[in-house]
Structures are given as C-alpha cells and as structure tokens.
Chains A and B, each alone.
Chain A
Amino acid sequence: MTTTPSFLEVKDVRKAYGAIKAVDGVSFSVGPGEIVGVIGPNGSGKTTLFNSILGQIKPTSGGVEFCGEDITGMSPLELARRGVGRTFQTLQVFTHLSVRDNLIAAAQEFKSTMPARLFAAPDAGLGHHADEMIEMFRLKHVAHLKAGTLSYGQQKLIDIAMAFMPAPRLVLLDEPCAGVNPSLVDQLRELLCELNRTQGGSFVVIEHNMDFIMKLCPHVICMVEGKVLAEGPPAEVQANRHVLEAYLGN
C-alpha cells in the first residue's frame, strides 16, 4: 500500500430520507493532484454525496475531512476559504458582469483583506491573471462583453474558468459536460487536464459522459443505490460485471 497523504477523506457517509437511503456508507479518499471521477446511474446518490461533501446537506452519519480537518456541514464560504472550489450543474455566471469581471470576481476575495480590497486597484491586481485565463479558455474576443449575452457554450467555459481562478486545492465539478456540444467536450477535457497539471489541484468529477470520464480520470468510482459498487482505474471499472449490470439492467 502506498502511503500518499490523503487530502480529501470521505468517511462512511450516510444520508437517509426516511426509509430511503440516498447514500449508504460511502468512503473514499482523494490524494493531492488526483482526479477522481464519480459515475453511476440516475438516482444512485451521486448528487447527495456531492452535497454532503459541500456542506449543503448534513449527513445522517459519517463525515468529510479535508487536510485533516473535519469539514462536514461547513458553509460554502468557509469551504471556499479553505481552498475548496466547485462548479454547478447549471450555468452560474454573473450575467451582468463582463467576462473579465466574472473572472476577477471569482478570485478577488482570496487576495488580501476586505478593508484592503476597498482601497485596491479596481482589478484587485488580478487583471493579468484574468487575461491569462481568458487566453487559455479562448475567450479573448468576448472578454469585455457581458457574460449573460454569450452562448451557452461560452458561458460554460466562463463558469469553469471562474472555479479555477483562485487556484483552489480541491475542485468538485458537477456534470461539467451537461448541455455541452461534443466538440466543446474535448476542449473542456483538455483544459481540465492542463489546469490539473499547472495548478496541481485535485478534482472530483461527477459526470454521465462515460467517454469524458474514462479519458480524464485515472481513478473512477461507480455508485449504485447509494453504495460504491466498483472502484479503480477506468478500464477496470468499465469491465466490471456488476457495473455493466447496473447500467444495462439484468
């Protein structure tokens, strides 16, 4: 067994709604810089698990540790301060701000203190970093337009770029490919790989797009009916008989 210091530790999380066990004893760990994919059919408890990690739902039992600290039930604000970022299933950009301002807004709170930011330059010293990100996401031609006026695909790119602006240590991505056209899916995957390489953060990705997950994540967890059914390298999980059964039915 390798003893890499685990970074995110999900410990036997359970969440029951009355008699329904949405998450039924899930444990896994994520190491620094690791990309972990979570797959599973609809209703397998992926979203409930995700929300438990992000403090949106209080688990019935079990807990989540991040860098040795118990983060179960923490508010989004406290999580953000500890370097836990996230994206949402649906588009969540600041529609009335320009693309560039969206990116600066995403990172400015991590720079200096609140009173100091009052007297900081309007771009909070983040203009250059935002421009780099804009360049990387190929959004230069729309950088000064309001985010709300752009296409779905462009907004999705902004949405993802925002999550990475503060260079978080851990990012939870909730179905990043939902509603994205196939050509953009490839671009998205390349961007995520590059960000993982350059920023060195860990990712947990929930996704339905098998191809995307299999190519992006070296480690995949398959959940069925609130439990971890299989875990390991993508090829192994994909070949697992139980996984095939769960997806295709008996």
Chain B
Amino acid sequence: MVDLIQLIVSGTATGAIYALAALGFTLLWQASGTINFAQGEFVMLPAFTMLICTTRGVPLWLAFLVACVVSAILLGIGFKRIVVDPLIRHGVIPLVIATLGLSIGLKQLVKASYAAEAQPFPSVFPAGQFPLFGTHVSYSDVGTLLIAGLIVISLQLFLKRTVTGRAMQACAQNMDAAKVLGINVKTMVLYVFIINAVLAAVASLLISPTYLAKFDMGDSIGQKAFFAAIIGGFNQTSGALLGGVLIGVLENLIGFYVSPAYKEGVALVLFMVVILFRPEGLLGKAEERKV
C-alpha cells in the first residue's frame, strides 16, 4: 500500500512530463500537420544547452532561460523555416522522414560533440522526502507535478480564454475559415512552433535530473509523447495530460508489480487497446468525416 502511493505519485510526475512533450506534439500536428518524430530530441537538446551553461558556472535558472531562448530560435523558428515550410507541400511522408533524419542528426551530433555517456543533471528541487498519507513522497516528484500541471493548465487557459489563444485554436481547427476571419495564420502557426520548443525545454528541465542527460534520452520520451497524445485524444489538449499521466502511472505499476523489463512496452499496449475500443482517444471527440 505504501509502495502503491509512492508509485502513483512518481508515475504521475513522470506522466506530467510526458504530457508536456505530448502537448507540444499535438499542437504542432493540429496547427501545421507536422508529425514531429524529433520531438524527443527537442527535449534532449535543451538538457545539453543547460549543461553547457551550468558547467561554466551559470546558475540553473539562467541556464534554463538560455535554453528556452536557444530552443525557441533553433527548434521553434528555425525548425519551421528550414524544415517544415519547404516540405509541407510535398505531403506527410517527406516531412516525417525529414524529422526522423533530424532526430538522428541531433542525437549523433550531441553524442559526437559532447558525450556518449549519461551526464548527471542538477535538480531544481531539494533532495529528500516528506511524509504524506503515512508514506514518504519526494520533493522532486511533487515539484515536478506542480510545475508541469501548472503549465498545462495555464496553457489550457491561454488557448481558451485569450484572443491569441483562441485564434490559434481556430487555425488548428480550420485554416481556411481562420484566414477568412482575418486571423494571421502564419504568425499563429509560428507561435505554436515556439510554444512547442519551450514546452520541450521545460520537460527537459524536469526530466533530466531523474533520467540523466543522455544523447538518446529523447527516444523514450518522444515515443511516450506520441502515444500519450493519441491515447488521450488528439483534438483535445487535456487529452495529452490524461494520456501522459496514464502512461506514467501504468509504467510504474507494471514495472514494479509485473516486470521492470516490459516497462517500455506499456505505452504501446495501452495505445493498441485504446485505438481498438475508443479510436478517437479517451477524451477526444469523434469528427465528422471530411469530404
């Protein structure tokens, strides 16, 4: 019982990080039809940007800001201008291949230029645990959960309550109608790319202390992000959160009670079950077939 609570809390924390990556992935797909297979590397790269800064004595909060700016420029604006814009008219497959190539390129670039081994990463939260419901929960799990939750909820509010946010959602739902309504679609899509990059940087800050900074850390995170997005429901931003948390918790439980060896397979099985029985995702809404 004691274990169960700990497992659920830490699973939820990890799941919330998956949700951050999944959220950006969903937004990107909705706004521009980009299926970004380099999403995991978008989480990995800021970890190394931060490491480069902190090893030179820069405090972590400043390193994080630097990483956000670098990510927004390189993985937000740069990614859109250099990779997505020229490719989007060729259809889905060339763009998917390009993001797969980008994923290999970024991973191997970090491996060759920085390190092949996992690097320790400073945590934002104090070490240690505090008592909760008769068990002990670590500060970092609770902190991670709070920050990730806060960001997901504020993003929700931004998308639902602000003019810019609503304009972005309008673009995602119907590009042509948004254009007719006088929304600057291009700017909105660019915002989505920047938001995606920053979300990935936050995920990086939260996940690297536990999972260590490694060139291939994105493989697992990226994969969880895709599955979380689909499990939760692609056309719902809250779906990404549910999907992420579900994967995080189930991974922990199955890893502990069944077999740690199959932890990585949990997301796939959950995905297959969901698309068999609820194809639109747990929170998704079935869409009318398009002509």
Contacts and interface: CB of A to CB of B under 8 A. Distances in A.
B56 interface: no
Chain A, interface SS category: loop
Contacts of A57: 288
B276 interface: no
Interface in B266-291: 288-289, 291
A58 interface: yes
A51 B291 contact: yes
A8 B291 CA distance: 22
Nearest to B290: A56
A162 B190 CA distance: 42
Contacts of A51: 291
A3 to B, nearest CB: 36
A210 B288 CA distance: 33
Contacts of B288: 57-58
Nearest to B289: A56
Interface residues of A, number: 5
B180 to A, nearest CB: 15
Contacts of B289: 56, 75
A75 B288 CA distance: 12
Interface in A41-74: 51, 56-58
A56 B287 CA distance: 12
Contacts of A58: 288
A34 B231 CA distance: 49
A57 B288 CA distance: 8
Contacts, number: 6
A51 B290 CA distance: 11
A58 B288 CA distance: 8
A39 to B, nearest CB: 21
A223 B236 CA distance: 39
Contacts of A56: 289, 291
Interface string A193-211: 0000000000000000000
A40 B289 CA distance: 26
Nearest to A54: B291
Contacts of B291: 51, 56
Interface in A13-58: 51, 56-58
Interface string B248-267: 00000000000000000000
Interface in A162-194: none
A57 B291 CA distance: 8
Contacts of A75: 289
A60 to B, nearest CB: 12
A176 B289 CA distance: 24
Nearest to A73: B289
A57 B287 CA distance: 11
A57 B290 CA distance: 8
A75 B289 CA distance: 9
B248 to A, nearest CB: 37
A56 B290 CA distance: 7
A23 to B, nearest CB: 15
A4 B207 CA distance: 73
A56 B288 CA distance: 8
A19 B190 CA distance: 35
Interface string B102-130: 00000000000000000000000000000
A178 B285 CA distance: 36
A46 to B, nearest CB: 14
A57 B289 CA distance: 8
A173 to B, nearest CB: 16
A40 B288 CA distance: 26
A136 to B, nearest CB: 30
A3 B288 CA distance: 37
Nearest to A55: B289
B112 to A, nearest CB: 41
Interface string B181-198: 000000000000000000
Nearest to A47: B291
A26 B291 CA distance: 21
B177 to A, nearest CB: 13
A144 B288 CA distance: 39
A82 to B, nearest CB: 18
Interface in A99-125: none
Interface of B: 288-289, 291
Q: Which are the 6 A-B pairs with shortest beta-carbon distances? A: A56-B291, A51-B291, A56-B289, A58-B288, A57-B288, A75-B289
6 contacts: A51-B291, A56-B289, A56-B291, A57-B288, A58-B288, A75-B289
